[in-house]
């Protein structure tokens, strides 16, 4: 086991590889797919995002002019962001904040 001694000493003297999470927050990677928001002023309620969503996290009600988005079902693939021709869905690189209550986000068109 003497061949491991240099590795042990190196690890003891170097800084930790992990981040001390509650005190230091890690920046998201450049291509990270995070939060999704709907801009209802641009949305024409075409239902393309609902048809394409693999996790069925988006439901569009064109008659009521409402979109229901369930972030707990969403797998953050951002296919809805890519398919939206009106650019009404914005995808951010920000992590989704933790939540204590499972709630569906409702976006209404005025």
Q: What is the dihedral of CA 77, 81, 84, 90, to 10 degrees?
A: 150
Q: What is the pTM of this model?
A: 0.76
**SS3 state at 5:** helix
Q: What is the dihedral of CA 29, 67, 87, 39, to 10 degrees?
A: -80
Residue 27's pLDDT band, with cuts at 50, 70 and 90, is: confident
> What is the number of structural domains in the chain?
1
CATH of the domain at 63: 3.30.70.3270
Residue 1 has pLDDT above 80, yes or no: no
Going by C-alpha positions, the residue among 99, 102, 105 that lies closest to residue 58 is 105
What pLDDT digit, counting tens, does each position of 80-93 carry?
999 999 999 999 98
Of the two residues 19 and 33, the one the predictor is more confident about is 33
Residue 39 has pLDDT above 90, yes or no: yes
Sign of the CA dihedral with 38 first, then 102, 60, and 65 last: negative
Structural domain boundaries enclosing 92: 27-108
């Amino acid at each position: 086991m003497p061949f491991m001694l240099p590795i042990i000493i190196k690890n003891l003297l170097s800084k930790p590889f992990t981040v001390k999470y509650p005190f230091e927050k890690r920046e998201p990677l450049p291509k990270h797919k995070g939060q999704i928001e709907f801009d209802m002023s641009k949305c024409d309620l075409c239902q393309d995002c609902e048809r394409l969503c693999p996790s069925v996290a988006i439901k569009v009600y064109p008659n009521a002019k409402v979109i229901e988005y369930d972030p707990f079902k969403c797998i953050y693939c951002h296919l809805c962001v890519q398919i939206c021709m009106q650019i009404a869905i914005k995808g951010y690189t920000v992590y989704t904040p933790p939540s204590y209550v499972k709630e569906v986000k409702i976006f209404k068109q005025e």
